[in-house]
Amino acid sequence: MKRTHIGMDLQFEMEEVEAFVKQPDGSVFSWCERFHCYCHLIYGIANNSKSAKTLKFDGKEIFWEIGENLIQKLESENIVKQVFPLHDEKTRKKLLRTWALRWWDCTNQPIDDIYPYYGAKIAIYFAFLGMYTRWLFVLAAFGLTLQLVDFRSMKLVVLPVFFVVVILWAVMFCQFWKRKNAALLARWPLSSTVEAHSGYKIPGRKDSSLQSPMELIKVLEADRVKGKQVFQRYEWLGRFMRFRNDAIIIFSIICLQLPFELAYAHLYGVISSDVMKFGLTAVYLFSIQYITKIGGQVSVTLIKNENNENTEKRADSLVYKVFGLYFMQTYIGIFYHALLHRNFSTLRKILIQRLLLSEVLENLVENSLPYLKYSYKKYSVRHKKREKGESTDKFQFSSRVEKEYLKPTYSASIGEELEDGLFDDFLELALQFGMILMFACAFPPAFAFAALNNIMEIRTDALKLLVIFKRPVPRAAGTVGAWLNIFQFLTLMSICTNCALLAWLYDEEGKWKVEPGLKAILIMEHVLLLFKFGFPRLVPSEPAWVRANRAKHTTQAQNLCSKKLLRTISGGEKRGIKMKTG
C-alpha cells in the first residue's frame, strides 16, 4: 500500500504515521483507499489449509476447496448476496442537515464533508454542479432582462452582444473550472498513484486481450531500443483501435440513428391529428429507449478491445461514444425544426417544452422511480416475512444492513461495469448545457430556467445519494473526466449554431447571399479550424513510452530510497522499523 507522503509517494510505514498527510476527517487513508483495502482483505480470504473444508449454513453444506476464494464461493451459492459499503448514519444525518435540506444558501455545498464520505469523484461532481449554477446566475439575469425589457430598434444589436457574452462565459467557465478542480485536489491529499492507475476493479473480471502496459514496461526495462519500438507499436495500435471504434459508432449514428430521428421529426411535423401524434411519440419513445440501450451495449463491447490505461480512461471512452447517441437523440429534432425550417416560434416552443417539462419531469421520475422500487421491495419482503409468521403486526427489519440491501444501487443507465450513477447526472447536465447554449440567441431566458433547475438538481441529487440509494462504491478519479471536453465541444458547436441563428434573424427573407464557391470555402475553413484544435486532443503531446519510462524511474527511485533506508538500518542498530509492501 502506497500513501502520499507530503507530495511524494512512499511505502506506508505504521511507525512513521505522523509524517503522512492526514485526510480532512483526520484519518490517514481516504475513504476510497480504505474501501479498496477492505475489498482486498475480504476477497483475499482463501482456503489455505491442506484439505477441503465443509461449511454449514441454514441446513446447507458447502465444500470449500483448497485455494478457493471464500466470498466468491459464498456468492455463487447465493449465501452472500452482495458486498457493498454501508451508510454511516451519523455522517449521513449530518450531511442531510447541512447539504440536502439546506435551502437558504443556493449553491454552497459542504464539499469538504462530501469528499471523505463519498470519495473524490462524487465530491467533484457536486463542486462542478455548484460552480456551474453559480455562474449561470449571471446569464440568467442577462437573459431575463432581454426577455422583459423591450429594446425596440436596439434589439438587433443586443442579441449579438448576448451571443458574445454567452460564448465568453462558456469558455471562461471551462477554464476556471479547471483551476477550481486543481485547487480542490490540492486541498485533498489524493495519492497520485491511486488517481492515475487504479479505480475499483471487480475481482475476477477479465482484462482486455491486448498486452497490459505493465508487461510492456518489463520489456522496456530489458531492452531500451526494442522496448521503445514495442511501446510505440502498442501506443499506435491502441490509437488505431480507438479510432476504429469511434468511426464505427459515428458511422452507425449517422446511418442508423439520424434517419430514424429525422423521420420522426418529419412525421411529427406533417401529421395533423393529435391522437396520431401522441401514438407516434409513444412508439418513438419506446424505440428510442431500446436503441440507446443497444448503443450502450455495443459501446461497452467495443471498449473492451481498447487498451485504455485504467478504468477511468475506459469510462471516459465510453462516455464519448454514448454521448454521441444522446446528442443525436436530444438535438436532432431541434435542429430539424430550427435550422432547416427556420421556424423561430416552433423552436422557442420546443425549447420551453423541453426545458420546463422534461427537466422537471425527469427530475421527478429519476427520484421517485427508485424510491417506489425500494418501497415495493421493502413491502414485498415485509409481506413475505409476515406470511412466514416471523413477526407480529409491528414489523421491524432485523437489521439496518438488510434495509440498505433493498435500496437500489447508484448505477448508470448504460454499462454498469464502467460507470456509476454519475453518468446519468453528468449527462443531464451536459444536455442542458448544450440546449441553453446552442440556441442561446433564440431563447435567452432559457438560462434562468436552467439555473432554477440546477438549484433543484443539487438538492435532489443529494437526497438521492443520502436517502434513496445504497452508498456508492468510491472512485478515486479527481476530475470530471470526459465531460469537460464535452462541455468544450458544445461551446464550439454553439458558436456555429448561434452564428447561423443570427444570420437567419437578420436575413428574414431566407435569401442566402453566399455563392456556392465561397460557401464551400467557408465550410472548409471551419473544418480545418476544428481539425487544427482537435488534433492535439487525439494525439497526446507525450508518447506513452516516455510516460511509462518516467513511471518506471519513479518506482525504481522509490525502491532505491527504501533500500538505502533498509541498508542504513541493517548496518546500524535494530530500531524495529518494518517496511510493509503491497
Query: How many Å apart are CA 50 and CA 65, to the nearest integer?
Result: 9
Shortest distance, position 495 Cβ to a copy of itself, whole Å: 5
Compute the radius of gyration of the chain from its Cα atoms. Answer: 28
Q: Which is nearer to a copy of itself, 352 or 569 (CB)?
A: 569
Which one of 254, 263, 267, 521 is in contact with a copy of itself (CB under 8 A)? 521
Cβ–Cβ under 8 Å, residues 363 and 457:
yes
Shortest distance, position 526 Cβ to a copy of itself, whole Å: 8
Query: How many Å apart are CA 116 and CA 105, to the nearest integer?
Result: 22
Residues 367-386 interacting with a copy of itself (rule: CB under 8 A): none
Which one of 37, 263, 401, 528 is in contact with a copy of itself (CB under 8 A)? 528
SS3 content of the chain, % helix, strand, coil (to 5): 70, 5, 30
Q: Which stretch binds a copy of itself (CB under 8 A): 211-219, 301-309, 451-459, 531-539?
A: 531-539
Which one of 52, 237, 247, 524 is in contact with a copy of itself (CB under 8 A)? 524
Q: Which is nearer to a copy of itself, 208 or 554 (CB)?
A: 554
Residues in contact with a copy of itself, counted by CB under 8 A, come to a total of 67
Q: Quick check: helix, strand or coil at residue 62?
A: strand
Binding flag, residue 364, a copy of itself (CB under 8 A): no
Grid cell at residue 453: 433547475
Binding flag, residue 161, a copy of itself (CB under 8 A): no
> What residues contact 407, with CB distance under 8 A and at least 6 apart?
374, 468, 469, 470
> What residues contact 314, with CB distance under 8 A and at least 6 apart?
303, 306, 308, 418
| CA separation, residue 388 to residues 378, 392, 401 (Å) | 15, 11, 21
Binding flag, residue 45, a copy of itself (CB under 8 A): no
Cβ–Cβ under 8 Å, residues 418 and 318:
yes
Q: Which is nearer to a copy of itself, 396 or 568 (CB)?
A: 568
Q: Which stretch binds a copy of itself (CB under 8 A): 116-124, 175-183, 277-285, 447-455?
A: 175-183
Q: Which is nearer to a copy of itself, 56 or 513 (CB)?
A: 513
Q: Which stretch binds a copy of itself (CB under 8 A): 54-62, 106-114, 173-181, 367-375?
A: 173-181
Binding flag, residue 172, a copy of itself (CB under 8 A): yes
Q: Which is nearer to a copy of itself, 152 or 575 (CB)?
A: 575
Query: How many Å apart are CA 132 and CA 140, to the nearest integer?
Result: 12
Query: How many Å apart are CA 283 and CA 263, to the nearest integer?
Result: 13
Query: How many Å apart are CA 163 and CA 152, to the nearest integer?
Result: 18
Q: Which amino acid is at 458?
A: I
| Residue span 119-158 as binding mask against a copy of itself, x where in contact by CB under 8 A, dash where not | ----------------------------------------
CA dihedral over 23, 26, 31, 34, signed as positive or negative: positive
Which one of 147, 259, 560, 580 is in contact with a copy of itself (CB under 8 A)? 560
Binding flag, residue 229, a copy of itself (CB under 8 A): no
Q: Which stretch binds a copy of itself (CB under 8 A): 264-272, 372-380, 432-440, 551-559?
A: 551-559
Binding flag, residue 533, a copy of itself (CB under 8 A): yes
Q: Which stretch binds a copy of itself (CB under 8 A): 169-177, 286-294, 442-450, 459-467?
A: 169-177
Binding flag, residue 105, a copy of itself (CB under 8 A): no
What region, left, alpha or beta, does residue 274 occupy, with left being phi > 0 and alpha being psi -120 to 50 degrees?
alpha
Residue 569, judged by CB atoms within 10 A of its CB (0-12, 13-18, 19+), counts as middle
Which one of 204, 571, 576, 582 is in contact with a copy of itself (CB under 8 A)? 571
Query: How many Å apart are CA 373 and CA 379, to the nearest integer?
Result: 10
Shortest distance, position 179 Cβ to a copy of itself, whole Å: 5
Residue 463, judged by CB atoms within 10 A of its CB (0-12, 13-18, 19+), counts as middle
Q: Which stretch binds a copy of itself (CB under 8 A): 128-136, 163-171, 244-252, 304-312?
A: 163-171
The helix or strand, by DSSP H or E, that contains position 4, with its residue range, turns out to be strand 2-5
Residues 458-517 interacting with a copy of itself (rule: CB under 8 A): 491-492, 495-496, 499, 502-503, 506-507, 513-515, 517
Q: Which residue has the cell 457574452?
A: 165
CA dihedral over 199, 205, 207, 213, signed as positive or negative: positive
Task: Identify the CA nearest to 325 among candidates 306, 299, 302, 351.
Answer: 299
Which one of 59, 568, 581, 582 is in contact with a copy of itself (CB under 8 A)? 568
Binding flag, residue 522, a copy of itself (CB under 8 A): yes
Residues found near a copy of itself in the complex (CB under 8 A):
5-8, 16, 19, 160, 164, 167-168, 171-172, 175-176, 178-179, 182-183, 185-186, 491-492, 495-496, 499, 502-503, 506-507, 513-515, 517-518, 521-522, 524-525, 528-529, 531-533, 535-536, 539, 541-543, 546, 549-550, 553-554, 556-558, 560-561, 564-565, 568-569, 571-573, 575
